[in-house]
């Protein structure tokens, strides 16, 4: 049997639980590695001084760092989609050209952030706070991260090239290499070890960009060693406007989805800084929360990356039963992950804040913040999965609308009003309020999508039909007896 047929049989007959697990776990681990970069920086930066201006500066710089990830991964999604489609259509030439055009787009994105690093970091920091210490540390940190951002853009680009051809393990390994180097270098460069001078917050930035460069080198090596389908020639870098347009059509919505989060973070920083007496501490606490919650959200996003192709395949096969079961199991798994997060944030906020050196007023404000904001986890797992379901059916606009309304139409105005007319603890209520609104929108849109796209589908082939077809393949000698027994067990277990 061909590899394509084997993949179809797996996607169409393997028990959904096992299929979802095997497809999601590598991506979940990969996303967890991604969450390490800023978190590790912040943990070590928090120990530079008792006043923690450096930690506040890192939190204030985060929107720009997140925006870099938005451009890198968003364009990367467009690259991956076009390459995978081209290879599936047996068109390796177009796949190579798509890879080359994608690399050029990522280079252009990188140049934008290099210019920001050279000329725009101080203006960005001053737009959020007037504290000169925070501004100085923020400029020191962000200028290095942006000026040397070619590491993260190269890393993301070649990881996407690996993912586009199914090299998930190599992609994960390159990320792990970068994260480990970052973790090792952070204390060495920040505090000065092994004869090196203490660089403070500049050391954290240097550790980050060196880790990114190492990951980029690893990704390039893995690409050259294993991605034989994408041997890019110099002629492939000739400008192809149609290919660039196709990459951007798919990639820009992904860029905007993540960019909305950067805008929200920037606006929340401004709102919190405006609160008298406790604004700086509140901003630091918000930055700490945002990094901590990534360890819950990232695995759910990895789960979604495994879920989407299963739904898309079975939508093509018109198998409503497998689609609904995939969605149901994904929602259950996501909700369970987020419930674990609620328990952690409710029962051990002191321990979580202690990782970032919180004491006295920061600990007091932080405990209240983590316990209130984490209430949104009740709805977040469900919302994330349902939003990805829309993308699986080609309705990415639904996901963007929900993200826009949740973060910019509900969360920011509610937080602004509470900051202006209420108390600090009420500002944190904006997060569960916004997530409730998103939950309602997700449900309404999913009901619409279900009635329009899922309900009209058939139930897919029956157990008897699948067994009959499998028996015919075995009798014709198309599959071995071992494969026959294995696939028969899958059919019986799943149906």
β partners of residue 483: none
Tokens of 132: 């000169």
pTM, 2 dp: 0.81
Q: Which residues contact 196 (CB under 8 A, 6 or more apart)?
A: 188, 189
Whole-angstrom distance, CA of residue 40 vs CA of residue 374? 21
Which residues on neighbouring strands pair with residue 319, listed in sequence order?
459
- Residue 417 tokens read as 């009003």
Give the pLDDT confidence score for residue 59 in this predicted structure: 87
> According to the model, what pLDDT value does residue 371 have?
96
Distance CA 222, CA 2 (A): 26
CA distance 99 to 77: 12
Helices (H) and strands (E) in the chain, counts: 21, 0
Closest CA to 329 of 310, 353, 342, 356: 310
What are 459's strand-pairing partners?
319
The answer to whether 234 touches 99, Cβ cutoff 8 Å, is no
DSSP class per residue in 363-389 = HHHHHHHHHHHGGGHHHHHHHHHHHHH
pLDDT at 472: 76
pLDDT attached to residue 10: 53
pLDDT of residue 24: 77
Q: Report d(CA 37, CA 47) in Å as an integer.
A: 17
For tokens 């139409």, name the residue: 409
> Do 76 and 156 meet the contact criterion of CB atoms below 8 Å apart?
yes
**Residue 42 confidence (pLDDT):** 83
Separation between Cα atoms, residue 183 and residue 88, nearest integer Å: 39
Distance set, CA 453 to CA 213, 318, 393, 439, 477 (Å)? 44, 10, 8, 20, 37
The pLDDT assigned to 194 comes to 87
Alpha-carbon span 435 to 407, nearest angstrom:
9
Place of tokens 């619409």: 448
- The pLDDT score that the predictor gives to residue 234 is 87
- CA 485, 490, 491, 492 torsion-angle sign: positive
Q: Cβ of 112: how many Cβ atoms within 10 Å?
A: 15
pLDDT of residue 38: 66
Q: What is the pLDDT along the chain (495 residues), one digit of tens a residue?
A: 344 443 444 555 567 778 778 777 777 877 777 777 667 778 888 888 777 888 899 889 989 988 998 898 888 878 877 777 777 677 888 888 988 999 999 999 999 999 999 999 999 999 998 899 999 999 999 999 999 999 999 998 998 888 777 677 788 888 889 988 998 999 999 999 988 899 999 999 999 999 999 999 999 999 999 887 788 888 888 888 888 988 888 778 778 888 898 999 999 999 999 998 888 899 999 999 988 988 888 888 878 777 877 777 677 667 788 888 889 999 999 999 999 999 999 999 999 999 888 888 999 999 999 999 999 999 999 998 898 888 777 677 788 889 899 999 999 999 999 999 989 999 999 999 999 999 999 999 999 988 888 888 765 555 666 677 778 777 777 777 777 777 777 666 654
Degrees, nearest 5: CA angle 357-54-196: 95
Residues 6+ apart with CB under 8 A from 465: none
DSSP codes of every residue in 179-239? HHHHHHHHHHHHHT-TTPPP-THHHHHHHHHHHHHHHHHHHHHHHHHH-GGG---GGGGS-
Instruction: Tell me what pLDDT residue 3 has.
Output: 40
- Count of C-beta atoms within a 10 Å radius of residue 238: 10
Q: Nearest 5°: phi and psi at 149? A: -75, -5
Structure tokens at 57: 């500066």
Upper half-sphere CA count for residue 333 (Cβ side, 13 Å):
25
86 in helix, strand or coil? helix
- Cβ contact 430:415 at 8 Å: yes
297 in Cβ contact with 380 (< 8 Å): yes
**pLDDT given for residue 8 in this prediction:** 43
DSSP symbol at 408: I
Burial track 340-368 (b if 16+ CB lie within 10 A, e otherwise): ebbebbeeebeebbeebbbeeebbebbbe
Output phi, psi for 319, to 5 deg.
-110, 90
């Amino acid at each position: 049997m061909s590899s394509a047929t084997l993949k179809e049989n797996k996607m169409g007959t393997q028990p959904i639980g096992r299929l979802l697990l095997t497809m999601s776990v590598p991506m979940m681990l990969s996303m967890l590695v991604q969450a390490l970069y800023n978190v590790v920086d912040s943990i070590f930066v928090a120990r530079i001084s008792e006043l923690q201006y450096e930690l506040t500066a890192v939190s204030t710089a985060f929107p720009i760092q997140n925006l870099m990830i938005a451009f890198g991964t968003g364009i990367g999604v467009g690259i991956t989609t076009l390459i995978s489609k081209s290879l599936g259509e047996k068109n390796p030439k177009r796949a190579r050209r798509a890879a080359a055009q994608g690399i050029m787009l990522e280079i252009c994105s990188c140049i934008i952030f290099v210019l920001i690093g050279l000329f725009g970091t101080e203006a960005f920091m001053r737009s959020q706070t007037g504290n000169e210490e925070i501004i100085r540390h923020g400029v020191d940190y962000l200028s290095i991260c942006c000026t040397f951002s070619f590491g993260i853009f190269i890393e993301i680009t070649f990881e996407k090239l690996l993912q586009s051809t199914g090299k998930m393990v190599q992609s994960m390994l390159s990320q792990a290499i970068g994260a480990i180097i970052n973790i090792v270098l952070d204390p060495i460069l920040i505090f000065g070890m092994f004869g090196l001078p203490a660089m403070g917050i500049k050391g954290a930035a240097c550790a980050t960009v060196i880790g990114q460069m190492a990951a980029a080198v690893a990704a390039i090596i893995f690409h050259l060693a294993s991605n034989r389908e994408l041997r890019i020639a110099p002629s492939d870098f000739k400008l192809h406007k149609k290919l660039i347009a196709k990459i951007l059509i798919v990639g820009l919505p992904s860029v905007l989805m993540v960019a909305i989060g950067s805008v929200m973070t920037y606006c929340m920083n401004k709102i919190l800084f405006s609160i008298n007496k406790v604004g700086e501490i509140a901003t630091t606490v918000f930055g700490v929360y945002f990094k901590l919650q990534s360890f819950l959200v990232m695995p759910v996003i990895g789960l979604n990356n495994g879920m989407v192709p299963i739904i898309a395949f079975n939508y093509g096969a018109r198998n409503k039963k497998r689609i609904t079961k995939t969605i149901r199991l994904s929602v259950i798994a996501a909700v369970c992950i987020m419930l674990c997060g609620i328990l952690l944030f409710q029962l051990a906020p002191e321990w979580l804040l202690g990782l970032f050196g919180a004491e006295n007023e920061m600990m007091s404000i932080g405990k209240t913040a983590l316990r209130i904001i984490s209430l949104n986890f009740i709805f977040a797992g469900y919302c994330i999965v349902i939003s990805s379901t829309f993308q699986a059916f080609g309705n990415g606009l639904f996901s963007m609308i929900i993200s826009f309304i949740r973060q910019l139409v509900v969360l920011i105005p509610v937080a602004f009003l509470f900051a202006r007319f209420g108390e600090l603890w009420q500002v944190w209520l904006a997060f569960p309020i916004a997530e409730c609104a998103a939950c309602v929108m997700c449900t309404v849109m999913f009901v619409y999508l279900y009635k329009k796209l899922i309900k009209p589908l058939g139930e897919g082939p029956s157990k008897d039909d699948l067994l009959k077809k499998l028996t015919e393949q075995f009798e014709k000698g198309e599959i071995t007896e071992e494969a026959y027994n294995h696939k028969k067990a899958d059919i019986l277990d799943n149906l």
